[in-house]
A and B are shown apart, each in its own frame.
Chain A
Amino acid sequence: MRAMLRLRRMIRKELLQLRRDPTMGRIIFIAPILQLFVFGYAVSFDVDNLATAVCDLDRSQASRQVVQRMVGSGYFTVVAESESPAELDRLLDTRKARVVVWFPPGFQRDLLAGARPQLQAVFDASDSNTAGVGSGYLSNVVDQFGRQYMPRRIARLAPGTRALASVELRPRIWFNPELRSVDYMVPGVLALILMVVTAVLTSLAIAREREAGTLEQLIVTPLRPWELIVGKLLPFVGIGFVDAVLVVLLARYWFHVPLRGSLFLLLVLTIPYLMNTLGMGLLISTVSRTQQQALMTAFFFLLPMVLLSGFIFPIANMPRALQVITYALPLRYFLEIVRGIFLRGAGPGLLWVQALPLLGLGTILLTAAVWRFRKNLE
């Protein structure tokens, strides 16, 4: 009973401290919203309205039709027309245009004669992703446009051949049929925010007490070490859950991300994840004497973790050695859980594969952290 009382007092002290620091309070709730909006809107690889310069030396109906189809696809926007090579060069160099399409004189004449005119496109490939996706779209546009001239081409190549068939590819997209990157990113931000709020803030809160010398004062009180630890961590668990619900609500009703699975399951599986992040925060605090050190250490470990977790960059694209490392990252498993529940509607039957390692890692981290923290206290 006494233990419970001491624990309650400790938690009340922590909450008071958080409330006294109005800026900190704002960070706890504004930072998640800010991150959600920035990540939701900024992290997108979608290629549309690619700035296009047209150099049309043919000025024919055919060349205009190709440009119209490019614009009509939504992937290209004509920003300049010019016939001067120097000007086109400048447009690419100064990033005013990302692609130049060039129609030679006689484009239409050759097309009608089945003589296979050239159509050149120069992409600014310094951004390799955009250039790769953009050139794919251009190939599709040109391919579709060219199809109507296929009989003429065949007639020229092999007179007397009857019409030939092609092969069509029909894509069907599951889980995210409109291919919105928001649907993929926003659930991921939940994992990120929970980590920042719990791991970083815990390590800071403890480092601050150490810096101010109040940690020693707490030690000489009748408070037992485990009460101290639980009292320190519990408020952050609460904050974590409040943030999680806030993010889910925003994701659902502002970003219109479908939540296909169970919210309850998501919150339940948040517990093993919080074991990990709190363990990390506690561990970081044991190796730092000042708040600055704690923050530097936190960023030093957390940033690579975010990068390697598959949050933005798919793990499948990484070299083998890095892929192996990702199995030790709690964030990796929680990301798959969050995205699985949101987008695939995954249930426990599919998610235990992620939940088990998450729980295992969490137990190890938290035990190690508590052990080190207690040793530090003695």
Chain B
Amino acid sequence: MLRRVSAVARKELLQILHDPRALVVAILMPPLMIILYGYGVNLDVRNVPLAVYDADHSPLSRAVVTSFEAGGYFRVRRVLESPAEADRLLEEARVRSVLWIPASFEADLRAGRTPTVQLITDGSDSNTAILTLGYASGIVRTFAGRYLAERLALSSPSLLAPIDLRIRYWYNPELRSTNFVLPGLIVIVLMMLSALLTSVTIVREREQGTLARLRLSPLGGTELVVGKMVPYVGIAFAAVMLAVLVGQMVFRVPIRGSPALLLALTGLFLFSALGTGLLISAVTRSQQIAIFAAFLLTFLPAVLLTGFVFPVERMPLILRVISELLPARHYMIVVRGIYLLGIGLDRLWEPVLILVGFAIIIPAAAGLALRRGR
């Protein structure tokens, strides 16, 4: 049996080497994608273009503007003379927010009447808008605290708050979005690579008519599937190692847990990922459809439904159910757990068990589909 598996593997390897361009693409794509996506997938909102309409022109209103500029969250692009300009700037998307300070701002504040400043925000990109509003309310809160502290001659403005709220961020204390994105990227890249690599292998043989010949041979479905998988495990492993190394060198995301465990569980995941590609290949009739299906069934769900950047917990039930059926979702938990949380098998056994299940079921299903010769 082992001999037959290795024969299939050798044949598959030869076929891979026949198309060196695909091989080079397969090996180089992951590190390239990691670099590009590592820089491109950034959720930290900074330098929001801001227009200011300051009707008060007082020292205090100017101080508000200065505190908006200070944190790096906003950048003042325009100072408006009339409020009418604000509409035009927002419609033309030249600025994303307009800060509007009313005429009696300083007088009100000094007299003990709470003045209102307005922030008009372009809400079309809802996430950016939510973050922008969060920053703005923080800035205004700090400003008010500082003003009051000065009036009361306190040493620190935070002393004034009735509650001393202390927020700590575990696992990623600087709230660096790269720390969140990079481990997730490894999952995506691996999932996509595996599916693209294997999704055509069987259907190509079917199109060329060599599958019928293989089926006449004494090979069983499982042997065929395992044999076809082996060379790709090697390629995928090489690609993922390269990707992790490049990612580490460029982005320096700390691996808090055990790298050995990460590698071992990556190997485990590869069986489900490559198996998915083979399963697609076994049940489709043309290469074109196989690759398209691989794309629709692996890449899109991997990006959208694995919790890569979009939280699964808050999706509609049907999407949450689909998400649980994706091996990549559980591998994502494992990768983030080891990378960021630094946890081991004692806390990861749940997703790991599920991954073991997938690693058996998916290749077995591919073998079955192959033997039934649909």
Contact = CB atoms under 8 A, between A and B. Distances in A.
Interface of A: 21, 23-24, 27, 31, 34-35, 38-39, 41-49, 51, 90, 92-95, 111, 114, 116-133, 135-140, 142-143, 145-147, 149-150, 152-154, 157-158, 161-177, 179-181, 183-184, 200, 204, 208, 290-293, 295-296, 299-300, 303-304, 307-308, 312-314, 316-319, 322, 336, 339-340, 343-344, 346, 350
Interface string B101-119: 0000000110111111111
Interface string B159-177: 1111111111111110111
Given A169-B140, A176-B124, A126 B180 contact: yes
A111 B162 CA distance: 7
22 contacts: A23-B286, A43-B304, A44-B310, A46-B126, A125-B171, A126-B336, A128-B44, A129-B177, A131-B169, A139-B138, A153-B162, A166-B148, A170-B119, A173-B129, A174-B122, A179-B123, A299-B196, A299-B295, A307-B41, A317-B46, A322-B40, A350-B92
Given A34-B296, A38-B319, A130-B311, A120 B166 contact: yes
A131 to B, nearest CB: 6
Interface in B166-207: 166-173, 175-177, 179-180, 192, 196, 200, 204
Contacts of B159: 116, 157
Nearest to A196: B295
B289 A125 contact: no
A142 B127 CA distance: 22
Contacts of A126: 170-172, 179-180, 336, 340-341
Nearest to B309: A129
Given A165-B109, A181-B127, A313 B42 contact: yes
B263 interface: no
Contacts of A161: 152
Interface of B: 19, 21-22, 25, 29, 33, 36-37, 39-49, 64, 90-93, 108-109, 111-131, 133-138, 140-141, 143-144, 147-148, 151-154, 159-173, 175-177, 179-180, 192, 196, 200, 204, 284-289, 291-292, 295-296, 299-301, 304-305, 309-311, 313-316, 319, 333, 336-337, 340-341, 343, 347, 350
Instruction: Please report whether the interface of chain A is mostly helix, strand, loop or mixed according to DSSP.
Output: helix
A168 B46 CA distance: 23
Given A39-B304, A119-B164, A152-B162, A313 B41 contact: yes
A175 B137 CA distance: 20
Given A168-B115, A314-B128, A27 B289 contact: yes
Given A172-B120, A307-B40, A42 B114 contact: no
Contacts of A149: 162-163
A152 B333 CA distance: 46
B136 A171 contact: yes
Contact of B129 (A116, A143, A176, A317): A176
B319 A157 contact: no
B43 A344 contact: no
A165 B113 contact: yes
B180 A49 contact: no
A346 B25 contact: no
A116 B126 CA distance: 35
Contact of B117 (A44, A127, A168): A168
Given A173-B121, A296-B22, A128 B175 contact: yes
B342 to A, nearest CB: 9
Contact of A146 (B33, B151, B161): B161
Contacts of B288: 24, 204, 208, 291, 295
B179 A174 contact: no
A93 B172 contact: no
Given A147-B162, A307-B37, A344-B91, 20 more contacts: A24-B289, A35-B300, A118-B163, A119-B163, A123-B170, A125-B170, A125-B175, A136-B135, A136-B138, A146-B161, A158-B153, A170-B118, A171-B120, A173-B129, A179-B123, A181-B127, A299-B196, A313-B40, A318-B42, A344-B93
Nearest to A51: B313
A128 to B, nearest CB: 4
Contacts of A168: 114-117, 140
A359 to B, nearest CB: 20
Contacts of B130: 45-47, 133, 179
A19 to B, nearest CB: 15
A326 to B, nearest CB: 9
Nearest to B161: A146
Given A44-B314, A131-B175, A139-B138, A165 B112 contact: yes
A31 to B, nearest CB: 6
A304 B169 contact: no
Contacts of B131: 129, 132-133, 136
**10 A-B pairs with least C-beta separation:** A136-B134, A125-B169, A176-B123, A149-B162, A173-B123, A45-B127, A146-B162, A125-B172, A179-B126, A42-B304
A289 B74 CA distance: 50
A116 B161 contact: yes
Given A126-B336, A132-B131, A314-B125, A296 B25 contact: yes
Which of B29, B129, B176, B284 is the most central at the interface, judged by chain A CB atoms within 10 Å of its CB? B129
Contact of A163 (B112, B121, B160, B295): B112
Nearest to A27: B292
Contacts of B300: 35, 38
A39 B314 CA distance: 14
Contacts of A292: 22, 200, 204, 287, 291
